[in-house]
Structure 1
Amino acid sequence: MTPQELRLKRQALQDMVFRGSTRFFAFLVLALLAAIILSLIHGAWPSIQAFGIGFITGSDWNPVTEQFGGWNSIRGTLLSSFIALLIGIPVSFGIAIFLTELSPAWLRRPLGIAIELLAGVPSIIFGMWGLFIFAPWFADNVQPWLTEHTAGIPMIGWLFQGPPMGIGMFTAGLILSVMIIPYIASVMRDVFEVVPPMLKESAYGLGCTTWEVVWNVVLPYTRHGVIGGVMLGLGRALGETMAVTFVIGNSHKAIESLFDPGTSIAATLANEFTEATGTLHTASLINLGLLLFLITFVVLVLSKLLLLKLQRGEGAHS
């Protein structure tokens, strides 16, 4: 066998090993995902048998009488994440636009590094800061003002009523927004920087303002990346545990305003899992974990479908 044939045979063997190893790791990820789902279903099965679909809609959570319903935790998870996105997306968008379009060159790098470092702060630090620093200040200065100035406004006034305790659903959403801003802003900044300068310069040459360039050139070019950054922030908000546990109030009662204490799935698991007594209590907590997994999965599927729809729309437009 000639050296050329030996080299080709060795390359073919290397390609076969590479394809086999990548296929193995791809299926390993799917196997791990299936194993997680099956283990959650197995652990939650006593709760599923006892409560069925009523576990999702039920609001009672009483370990003494072994009556468990996850609706208050589910609602708290979705509501706090929605508040975080409602605040975090505009702020992140403004940060990304400032860093890519308006900031002086000498400030872009240090400010960008500072924002990325904020993403590395442990969540328990955010929780401690929120409980001991932010919540008392919020209760003394912001909550009374919001209650006074929104009273009587239809559809809004009831959201900001109640005693100014500092902790509660709204505070949890604010802390979550601070935590997800670095993730969304960093992704937006990175995708905004890949826009070809020629496109922006052409728009400026036609007399467009900075806002018109951003809205009509930058965003359409990078909307897939922007949506991906938002989904990354949403995933962080849905699964956040310690920071939310510190400031949400950890109450399973139904909330009447955003200032009332509530709970989330992650906070309930953090508070009760180590102290759960009885098979049904433990199974109900695992059932909550299964629901959180399903909520995250549904969010990712919907985001993927949205991206596919946008891609089809671009094809039809072209």
Structure 2
Amino acid sequence: MTAVSFEHSRKPHLGEALFKTLLYIAAGIVLVTLGAILIILFLSGQHAFARFGVAFLWTDQWDPVRDLYGAAAPIAGTLASSAIALLIAWPLGFGIAYFLTETCPKFLRTPLGIAVELLAAIPSIVYGMWGFFVLAPVMASSIQPWITEHTTWLPVLPSEDNPLWWWFQGAPVGVGLLTGGVVLAIMILPFIAATTRDVLLTTPQLLKDGGYAMGATRWEVVTGIVIPAVRGSLFGAVFLGLGRALGETMAITFVIGNANRLPDSFYAPVASIASIVANEFPDSDQGSLKLASLFALGFVLFVVSFVVLALARLLLRQGRMAA
């Protein structure tokens, strides 16, 4: 009797059927929970969507006195701070991951890897307090004035007529868009570094050895062999970090300035969706248009984060299948 016929003839075991049913129930609970959160946010924010329509997404007013609300400013602050965080954390995360997998001495790989991953275990409020009491004064006294002084010599910023020029100007108050981006970069760094390390470990060693055998330098092996082999998964690691940055609340609330305005400078105080919800929610009356607008902001953030994380999982899965 073949293995296939044996499987078909074997009677189903009660414990196996029960275990399979429990797995389906567990997976269904996750889907039902996500769907319930999405529906509750949408229904709770329906008053705002009905009042402002789709224009809610690109209106930058937030005036509780006149009951005028728009999501453009917090959406722009969320995207801008997350973009700054990615620009800082992506190269650092890839460098850390490559060092741990290729050049780090073997006796240091495990402790350094654990140290990087422990950054993810630090509570976000601790990052926020550190950013407000330590990083923000340093940004105001040293880093922001230095950036303003030295960026005036960049050829792409010759005068005030260039719109980019204003992004490097402003009062060095410490808290603001740039400080928020730096804190977010530190927070998402362990996620990007750990995921990138796992991705780099999937690169076939034969490919790298073949490159070195043909006389390629370490840089040529990285850029010509390693990165092309795992490109999709590397983007997946970045999107995982982006998803973490988009939803951060307490840390960004401490250091972003919480000014509901469109960002026009790296030093300007702005707000993110999460910080607006955290600051405004306690003062919102039940059933008010303001509370509905906050739920609408939460719905927008949920959808954006879900799409980003789903795309990250898709890229990581494609990278593993290709490997």
Q: TM-score, normalised by structure 2?
A: 0.88
Question: What is the deviation of 1:311?
Answer: 9.6
Secondary structure (helix, strand or coil) at the match of 1:250 reads coil
Percent sequence identity over aligned pairs: 47
Matches within 5 A, 1:240-259: 240-259=248-267
Q: Which residue of 1 aligns with 2:297?
A: 288
Question: Partners in 1 of 2:276 and 2:200 — Cα distance?
Answer: 38
Amino acid across the alignment from 2:308 = V
Counterpart Cα distance in 1 of 2:198 and 2:268: 38
In 1, the alpha carbon distance for the partners of 2:250 and 2:308 equals 22
Q: CA deviation at 1:159?
A: 1.3
Q: Is the 8 A contact 2:81 2:177 kept in 1?
A: yes
Task: Give CA deviations for 1:157-188 in whole Å, capped at 9, x if unaligned.
Answer: 22111011111011101110011111100111
Name 1:166's counterpart in structure 2: 174
> Does the C-alpha gap of structure 1 residues 182 and 302 become closer, same or farther in structure 2, counting only changes over 3 Å?
closer
Give, in whole Å, the separation in 1 of the partners of 2:237 and 2:262: 32
Q: Map of 1:293-304 to 2, 5 A cutoff?
A: 293-303=302-312
Cross-structure match for 2:131: 130
- Which residue is equivalent to 2:202? 194
CA distance in 1, matches of 2:264, 2:232: 37
Counterpart of 1:104 in structure 2 is 105
Instruction: Give, as a single letter, the amino acid of the residue that structure 2 aligns with 1:283.
Output: A
Report the equivalent of 2:82: 81
Q: Which secondary structure does the structure 1 equivalent of 2:184 belong to?
A: helix
What is the alpha-carbon distance in structure 1 between the residues aligned to residue 248 and residue 283 of structure 2?
20
Query: What is the CA distance between 1:198 and its match in structure 2?
Result: 2.5
The C-alpha deviation readout for 1:54-94, integer Å capped at 9, x for no partner, is: 21111111112211111100111111111111111011011
Say if 1:41 and 1:290, in contact at 8 Å, map to a contact too. Answer: yes
Aligned-CA RMSD value: 2.4
Measured in 2, the distance between the counterparts of 1:159 and 1:301 equals 32
Deviation, structure 1 residue 102: 1.4
Q: Which runs of 5+ in 1 are unaligned?
A: none
CA distance in 2, matches of 1:305, 1:18: 28
1:148 maps to amino acid: E
- Distance in 1 (CA, whole Å) between partners of 2:320 and 2:103 is 30
Q: 1:238 aligns with which of 240, 246, 249?
A: 246
Q: Hey, what does 1:65 align to over in structure 2?
A: 66
Q: Structure 1: how far apart are the matches of 2:120 and 2:146?
A: 31
Q: How many residues were matched structurally?
A: 307
Partner Cα distance (1:32, 1:234) in 2: 23
Verify the 8 A CA contact 1:147 1:157 in the aligned structure 2: no
Superposed counterparts of 1:1-318, under 5 Å: 8-9=10-11, 11-151=12-152, 152-153=157-158, 154=162, 156-277=164-285, 279-303=288-312
Contact kept? 2:259, 2:269, Cα under 8 Å: yes
Runs of 4+ more than 4 Å apart: 301-312
**Range 245-254 or range 155-164, more displaced:** 155-164
8 A contact 2:230–2:319 mirrored in 1? no
Q: Which amino acid aligns with 1:251?
A: A
- Give unmatched runs, 5+ long, in structure 2: 1-5
Within 2, Cα distance between the matches of 1:48 and 1:107? 54
Contact 1:62 1:68 (C-alpha < 8 Å) held by counterparts: yes
Partner-residue secondary structure (3-state), 1:180: helix
